[in-house]
Amino acid sequence: MSAPDLRRAAAARALELVEPGMRLGIGTGSTAAAFIALLGDRVRAGLDVIGVPTSEATRIACEREGIRLATLDELPELDLTIDGADEVDGRLRLIKGGGAALLREKIVAMASRRMVVIADAAKRVETLGAFPLPIEVNAFGLGATWRAVERALAESGCAGKPLTRRLDAAGEPLVTDGGHALLDAHLGAIPDPEGLSARLWAVPGVVEHGLFLGISDTAFLAEASGSEARVTVLSRP
Ligand SMILES: O=C(CO)[C@H](O)[C@H](O)COP(=O)(O)O
């Protein structure tokens, strides 16, 4: 069972939630791409839905599949967002932003009545933080913001952990779809995600961070079971 097979199995399970006429938030990343491909098949077979993409990459992928799109200005309330995640804990708290789309992903998820995560079961963790936490920051005053973020991390029990600036494929500083810089905090473990979230939001140059807390209520996690993919449903207690 390959990783693409697992992504497709999780995406197929989420597709069962999609009903005609729904306004969908459409996530970013390789698992979201599997969902977009399956949704495209359904749209070509006559399903009428409209989507709001969470990144330029997703917008292009949806257009290629013939999925009708709108902006969040045109559709400020959505029925359902389907998106991937980099880590999922037992309380459905997430780390997202591995694909640099965390800001739009969070705005779209928060505008949705429901956010459902699709992922390989390997993303399920006991404690968030092994995946570097993405922190989107305004490029103005980056040095000062950097130091303030380090202080916020230290106050949250994550002292002395390295912070790096995300680079793009060409090795240049990455610029997000929103025109911002992206930092990655290599924490190993986040003992208090809610406390860290509050402290990061208190830093003026922080635009958003990749902790999604209390946003998603369901995750479809796919793992191999013999030659089949088994999808486990994780629900927020
Ligand atoms: O948050 C994201 C993009 O910003 C993605 O959803 C996350 O990185 C998971 O990606 P993938 O499905 O490729 O593992």
96 Cα to the center of ligand 1, angstroms: 6
CA R_g for the chain: 18
End-to-end C-alpha distance for the chain, whole angstroms: 30
- 163: domain CATH number is 3.30.70.260
Distance (Å) from CA 99 to ligand 1 centroid: 5
Provide the ipTM: 0.99
What separation in Å is there between the alpha carbon of 120 and the centre of ligand 1? 11
Residue 1: the pLDDT is 80
The answer on 222 and 174 residing in a single domain is no
Average pLDDT over residues 97-119: 98
Same domain? 102 vs 116:
yes
Residue-wise pLDDT tens digits, 75-101: 999 999 999 999 999 999 999 999 999
Based on the fold, state whether residues 42 and 91 are members of the same structural domain.
yes
- Are residue 47 and residue 78 in the same domain, yes or no? yes
pTM for the full model?
Answer: 0.96
Mean pLDDT (whole number) for 42-62:
98
- pLDDT value, residue 160: 74
172 plus 69 within the same structural domain: no
Query: Do 168 and 102 sit in the same domain of this protein?
Result: no
> What CATH number does residue 48 fall under?
3.40.50.1360
* Distance, CA of 225 to CA of 93 (rounded, Å): 25
CB of 87 shorter than 6 A to ligand 1:
no
Whether 28 is in the pocket of ligand 1, judged by its Cβ within 6 Å, is: yes
> Domain range for residue 190?
133-209
Whether residues 140 and 111 share a domain: the answer is: no
Active-site residue numbers? 105
Look at 1-5, 75-79, 160-164 and tell me which has the smallest mean pLDDT: 160-164
Considering the domain architecture, whether residues 202 and 218 belong to the same structural domain is answered as: no
Say whether pLDDT at 199 is over 80.
Answer: yes
Annotated binding residue 123: yes
The best mutation among 82, 96, 107 to test binding of ligand 1, ranked by most ligand atoms within 8 Å of the C-beta, falls on 96
- Give yes or no: residues 89 and 192 share one domain: no
Are both 148 and 228 inside the same structural domain?
no
* Residue nearest (by alpha carbon) to ligand 1 atom 10: 29
Q: Which atom of ligand 1 is nearest to the CA of 27?
A: 6
Q: Whose CA is nearest to atom 12 of ligand 1?
A: 31
Same domain for 139 and 102?
Answer: no
Q: Ligand 1: which residue has its CA nearest to atom 3?
A: 99
User: Residues 14-20: what's their mean pLDDT?
Assistant: 98
Our answer on whether the CB atom of 53 is closer than 6 Å to any ligand 1 atom is no
Number of domains in the chain: 2
Q: Check the annotation: does 58 bind a ligand.
A: no
Q: Is residue 68 over pLDDT 80?
A: yes
64 and 164 assigned to the same domain? no
Average pLDDT over residues 8-20: 98
pLDDT above 90 (res 127): yes
Q: Is the distance from the beta carbon of residue 29 to the nearest atom of ligand 1 less than 6 Å? A: yes
